[in-house]
Amino acid sequence: MATTLTINGEQKSFDVPADMPLLWVLRDVLGMTGTKFGCGIAQCGACTVHIDGKAVRSCMLPVSAVRDRAVTTIEGVGATPVGAKVQKAWLDLEVIQCGYCQSGQIMSAAALLAATPNPDDSDIDAAMAGNICRCGTYVRIRAAIKQAASGKQS
Amino acid sequence: MSIIETAAASTVKKFSRTVSRRGLLKGGLAGGFLVAFHLPLRAANEPVQPPDVTDGKFAPNAFIRIDGAGHTTLVMPQVEMGQGVYTAVAMILAEELDADLSQVALQHAPPNDKLYGNPTFGLQVTGNSNSIRAFWKPLRIAGASARAMLVQAAASEWKVEPASCTTSKGQVTHSESGRNLSYGELATAASSETPPKDVPLKDPKDFVYIGQPLKRLDTPDKVNGKAVYGIDAMLPGMKFATLAACPVFGGKVGKVDDSAAKKIPGVQQIVVLDDLVAVVGDHMWAAKKGLEALTITWDEGPNARISSKEIWQDLRDKSEKDGVVARSEGDIAKGLSIGDKMEAAYELPFLAHATMEPLNATVHFKQDSCEIWTGTQIVSRVQAEAAKAAGLPVDKVIVNNHLLGGGFGRKLEPDMVVAAVRIAKQVEGPVKVVWTREEDIQHDVYRPVYRDVISATLSDGKIAAWKYRIAGSGVIARWLPPAFQKGIDIDAVDSAVDLPYEIPNIQVEYVRAEPPAVPTGFWRGVGPNNNVFAIECFMDELARKAGKDPIEFRRAMLTKQPRFLGALSLAAEKSGWGQPLPARVGRGVCLQPSFGSFIATVVEAEVDEQGEVHLRRVTSAVDTGIAVNPDTIMAQLEGGLIFSLTAALYGEITIEKGRVQQSNFHDYRMLRIDQAPKIDIHVIKSSEAPGGIGETGSTAGPPALRNAIYAATGVALRRLPIDRSLIAAGKKS
């Protein structure tokens, strides 16, 4: 199926099966490898992208379901004010270890802050519990989200 | 530009370069850390190129390269899998070199045991929390030697005494005459200097980088999608594959009906080997759908009869028999015959690693060569095993190592690369083989099941005799056979033969008990995870029998152990040990000697009536000697604690009919952010040599949690993962 998507503000055209999850279009067809494969069943959040600003697991989202909505990936999220704040907080607090899940963590956190600029702990739990980090960086993820929200180190 | 480059020839992503591997083969560890410099081969803004030193102008070099423009490239002997080693290694080299750390570029080392072998193992291994312990001195010497040669070159140029020159941030200065030369300007001249013998190292009080919580060098590219892991390798004309091995360990492929799979759009090829089937396609989606569409009849073989029940029965039987004595002091028979005696046995389950980056390797097999892209903890062994699988000489196999999306010991095995090479032999052009999460969980090399049997006697509130028997896999026996001596697996007995408590009569035994069918290997925390769990749980049961506070009970047997006492006292103070708690909330302690660090941890947990456990707070006090990067040490403890508390709460791989019953994160559960406790890590200042840190958190969590549950409820759990039904039943020991 010939498809055109708007990804990080750019038009991308390709021909893939309609049921192909967006994850594999990004990674294997477009070579945008910042979005990660973790489980394939929306259990780990490594593949999180934004569709019209909302966090979505791309491993189970058929490319045909995206339609004309805007796709933002980790490669593009830094161009949004919230995404840039999240990336900065992640580096300021040295959240990252292996980093493999962190594309997804950052995308989930950016979507949270875009919708809820001052999240409390339960907002953070609700928005971030779908993202597994095997290195166990949760304590710093929580602190970084609060810092990105407030602009102050917690 | 990415600061992390791959050293072998590669066309991955934007990088394209060629390398002289001959140049790298000279000198290095075996050659006494000779240091080389090389002239610029590139313009200032080009990506850092590995040096071409074949023209004989440059001395050999393992870790440090400085070009004429002053670009400093540090080659990383150890792999970065999240533990922060790239930053720590760079800090140590830059410290003694007096380089400007903000200006260095890092490179993954290519396979080469002579240059980059871990001094502890004699081969390239990142494991056992020993990167800094093993390389601390060699890296300092390498940095200091290079610095001395640069100073010598500057002193010759200026005709002054080397001792009158100083160095800082990539510059040599002669302050009397006000002259400066940058390392880049000195590179050519320094390359003909002789490396000094017995070069002096810095006094720790003069350290500029070491001891500072500096920012990691690998993380900027990890917030924007630019970091390249093995799974991200992209090559022109690449195909994508995924595989299925027989679900029964050791089983073979019987019959394959691929008629439906071949009709899936994007499926290109079905590869059938004796023990696995792979589908190759235009992308992973085609490969996955193709694999699902195959009808495979497996020849399951004899292991189809094996289940967890038999495995445990077998281990329990073996653990009751005498083992090989690994440590013996005093008179154990006499010691056990006097006083209050207690006995217990502790059991740990199989665990999968479940690195977030599923197993993968990309291979381009040609008739006369083979090139591989992957992330591994054992790059030289991967090269050797790949060469065997490819039927090629080792020097015809190029391995491009990458950042690892988690290792935890899984990538101390070469099986994922060997499988990819075998598949690639059947495929035209490069193929990326990615395992599904299901395949990753069901064909792991598992943390072994262990059973530890302990008996001890108490006298005057102290332990008078201690008999401790470990039964479980000899992972070292399989993985590094020469290190398996006299029936004792040095990993299996680690932290048991060196338990810190002063006990007059001790016997430690080991029974090698290999589970049938299930492959076992290293899992973050390795042998100490097992031993510290059993020892520290039993310590709390003994303390209760002696009527003592668990920390006071331990302290009384640590009179000659100031570092353990220091950690224990600090953890007690910072955790609020002894202060009142609400009902059904408890604190538990764990003290561990593992990996050359001295760590005390207190977990505070609440246990509800149904036996569900809520983690409230974790406090660790860490004496790891000189803390190269204190922030990394804190991060490793925080993360390791979460890793191990995950296992304590949920982790268990079970076997039925020769198959692993778990398959993905829905049934092999992970701790998530909404369950994560507050964690406070306190790093103790020390001038001792650095200890290991990467696995210490993994060892600390489970016994401290179990002891917190014991304190809260009186239920003495003796098996992991924690059994909520036992807690709910409230059965006291």
ipTM over 0.90: yes
Structure tokens at B474: 């000899």
Report how far apart, in Å, the C-alpha atoms of A113 and of each of A106, A144, A146, B666 are: 10, 11, 9, 27
- B678–A24 C-beta distance less than 8 A: no
Residue B5, pLDDT score? 56
Residue of B nearest to A62 (CA): B285
CA distances from B302 to B299, B426, B449, B579, B657 (A): 9, 29, 21, 57, 10
The pLDDT tens digits for B480-505 are 999 999 999 999 999 999 999 999 99
pLDDT > 70 fraction of chain B, expressed in percent and rounded: 91
Q: What does the DSSP 8-state code read for residue B50? A: P
**According to the model, what pLDDT value does residue B47 have?**
29
Partner-chain residue, chosen from A21, A39, A98, that has the shortest CB–CB distance to B405: A98
**Residue-wise burial string across B671-710, b where 16 or more C-beta atoms lie within 10 A, e elsewhere:** bbbebbbebbbbbbebeeebbbbbbbbbbbbbbbbbbbbb
Q: Considering only CB atoms, which chain B residues are within 8 Å of A44?
A: 356, 665, 670
Do residues A45 and B414 make contact, with C-beta atoms less than 8 angstroms apart? no
What is the per-residue pLDDT across B581-590, written as a single tens digit (0 to 9) for each? 999 999 999 9
Residues near A80 by beta carbon (within 8 Å), at least 6 away in sequence: A72, A110, A114
Judge: B224–A139 Cβ closer than 8 Å, yes or no. Answer: no
pLDDT at residue number B39: 21
How many whole angstroms separate alpha carbon B421 and alpha carbon B399? 12
| Distance, CA of B525 to CA of B475 (rounded, Å) | 13
Nearest CA among B186, B64, B232 for reference residue A32 = B232
Is B98:B169 a contact under the CB 8 Å cutoff? yes
The minimal CB distance from A138 to the residues B84, B240, B676 is found for B676
Flag whether residue A81 sits within 8 Å of chain B, measured between CB atoms.
Answer: no
Using an 8 Å Cβ cutoff, are A51 and A59 in contact? Answer: no
Rounded to the nearest 10°, the torsion over CA B440, B442, B447, B451 is 170
Residues 19 through 58 of chain A touching chain B, CB cutoff 8 Å = 20-21, 24, 27-29, 31-41, 43-44, 46
Q: Do B356 and A36 touch (CB under 8 A)?
A: yes
**Comparing B7 with B348, which gets the higher pLDDT?**
B348
Q: Residue B548: its pLDDT value, please? A: 98
CB pair distance less than 8 Å for A102 and B222: yes
Residue pair A17/A24 in contact (Cβ under 8 Å)? The answer is no
A83 Cβ contact list (under 8 Å, min separation 6): A72, A76, A77, A106, A110
Residue B568: predicted pLDDT:
98
Question: What local confidence, expressed as pLDDT, does residue B27 receive?
Answer: 28
Check: CB of residue B93 under 8 Å from CB of residue B75. Answer: no
A142 CB neighbours in chain B (<8 A) are 673, 676
| Pairs of CB atoms within 8 A across A/B | 185
Interface check for A147 against chain B (CB to CB < 8 A): the answer is no
Give the nearest chain A residue to B441 (CA atoms): A39
We find that the CATH architecture of domain A77-150 is: Orthogonal Bundle (1.10)
**3-state helix/strand/coil string of B226-268:** CCCEHHHCCCCCCEEEEEEECCCCCCEEEEEECCCHHHCCCEE
| Best residue of B356, B404, B615 to probe chain A, by most A CBs closer than 10 Å | B356
- Cα separation of B331 and B474, whole Å? 27
pLDDT of residue B3: 56
Q: Which two tokens stand for residue B131?
A: 């990167």
- Span B589-635, pLDDT tens digits: 999 999 999 999 999 999 999 999 999 999 999 999 999 999 999 99
Q: What is the pLDDT of residue B67?
A: 85
Residue of B nearest to A46 (CA): B356
Residue B41 CA to residue B14 CA, distance in Å, equals 19
Q: Structure pTM?
A: 0.93
| pLDDT (tens digit per residue) in A5-25 | 999 999 999 999 999 999 999
DSSP letter string over A66-95? TTTSEEE-TTTGGGSHHHHHHHHHHHHTT-
Distance, CA of B152 to CA of A142 (rounded, Å): 51
Minimum distance, in Å, between the CA of residue A103 and any CA atom of chain B: 6
Q: In this model, does residue B14 exceed pLDDT 80?
A: no
- Over the stretch A98-132, which tens digit does the pLDDT of each residue have? 999 999 999 999 999 999 999 999 999 999 999 99
- The whole-angstrom distance between B285's CA and the closest CA on chain A is 6
How much is the average pLDDT of B710-720? 98
pLDDT above 80 for B444? yes
Name, in order, each residue with C-beta under 8 angstroms of A122's C-beta and a sequence gap of 6 or more.
none
- Beta bridge partners, A6, equal A11, A70
pLDDT beyond 70 at A153: no
Residues B678, A102: C-beta atoms closer than 8 Å: no
Report the residue of chain B nearest A28, measured CA to CA: B283
Amino acid at B211: G
Paired tokens of B339? 């006083």
Q: Which residues pair with B488 in a beta bridge?
A: B485
pLDDT at A75: 98
Alpha-carbon distance A68 to nearest alpha carbon in chain B (angstroms)? 22
Give yes or no for A18 touching B (CB within 8 A).
Answer: no
What is the third-level CATH fold of A2-72? Answer: Ubiquitin-like (UB roll) (3.10.20)
For residues B352-364, give the mean pLDDT.
98
Between B15 and A73, the more confident residue is: A73
Closest CA to A124 of A94, A97, A154: A154
Query: According to the model, what pLDDT value does residue A152 have?
Result: 74
B362 touches B236 (CB < 8 A): no
* Chain region(s) in chain B for CATH 3.30.365.10: 4-222, 230-301+359-434, 309-350+446-729
Alpha helices in B394-493 (DSSP H): 415-424, 437-442, 475-479
**Residue contact A97–B83, C-beta within 8 A:** yes
The two counts, helices (H) then strands (E), for chain A are 5, 5
The model's pLDDT over B205-252, given as tens digits with 9 standing for 90+, comes to 999 999 999 999 999 999 999 999 999 999 999 999 999 999 999 999
Residue B274 has pLDDT above 70, yes or no: yes
- Provide the mean pLDDT of chain B: 91
Mutation target vs B (from A43, A44, A100; most B CBs, 10 A cutoff): A100
Right CATH number for B309-350+446-729 from 3.40.309.10, 3.30.70.60, 3.30.70.20, 3.30.365.10? 3.30.365.10
Residues near B459 by beta carbon (within 8 Å), at least 6 away in sequence: B338, B339, B340
* For residue A57, pLDDT beyond 60: yes
Chain B residues whose CB is inside 8 A of the A27 CB are 232, 284
- pLDDT over 90 for what percent of chain B? 87
Closest C-alpha among B453, B340, B361 to residue B415: B361
Cα-atom radius of gyration of chain A, to the nearest Å? Answer: 15
Instruction: State mean pLDDT over B38-67.
Output: 42
Q: How far, in Å, CA of B277 to CA of B245, rounded?
A: 6
Structure confidence at residue B4 (pLDDT): 61
Mean pLDDT score, B60-81: 85
Average confidence (pLDDT) over B512-537: 98
Looking at the complex, report in whole angstroms how far the Cα of residue B651 sits from the nearest Cα belonging to chain A.
13
* Count of beta carbons in the 10 Å neighbourhood of residue B501: 19
Domain ranges of chain A: 2-72, 77-150
pLDDT for the residue B732: 62
Identify the pLDDT of residue B135.
Answer: 95
Q: Of B435, B372, B368, B376, give the one whose Cα is nearest residue B398.
A: B372
Question: What architecture is domain B230-301+359-434?
Answer: 2-Layer Sandwich (3.30)
Q: CB distance B222–A96 less than 8 Å?
A: yes
Q: Could you tell me the two tokens for B654? A: 């079970």
Nearest CA in chain A to B221: A99
| Chain A closest-CA separation from residue B309 CA (Å) | 29
Pairwise CB contact (< 8 Å): A102 & B223: yes
Least confident of A87-101, B111-125, B286-300: B111-125
CATH code reported for the domain at B4-222:
3.30.365.10
- Taking CB atoms and an 8 Å cutoff, what residues of chain B touch A1? none
Q: Quick one: average pLDDT of B138-144?
A: 94
What's the start-to-end Cα distance of chain A, in Å? 49
pLDDT given at position B61: 52
Chain B residues closer than 8 Å to A130 by CB: 672
Mutate to test the interface with B, among A139, A147, A153 (most CBs of B within 10 A): A139
**Strands B397-401 and B462-472: what pairing?**
unpaired
Question: A146 CB near a chain B CB, below 8 Å?
Answer: no
Contacts of B284 in chain A (CB under 8 A): 24, 27-28, 37
Return the structure tokens found at B498.
């060196």
Under the banding of pLDDT at 50, 70 and 90, the label for residue A151 is confident
Please report the DSSP string for B60-111 in residue order: --SSEEE-TT--EEEEESS--SSS-HHHHHHHHHHHHHT--GGGEEEEEPPS
pLDDT reported for residue B12: 28
Distance from CA of B40 to the nearest CA of A (A): 32
Instruction: Of B247, B157, B264, give the one whose Cα is nearest residue B518.
Output: B247
User: Does the beta-carbon distance from B218 to A99 stay under 8 Å?
Assistant: yes
Nearest to B234 among A31, A43, A101 (CB): A31
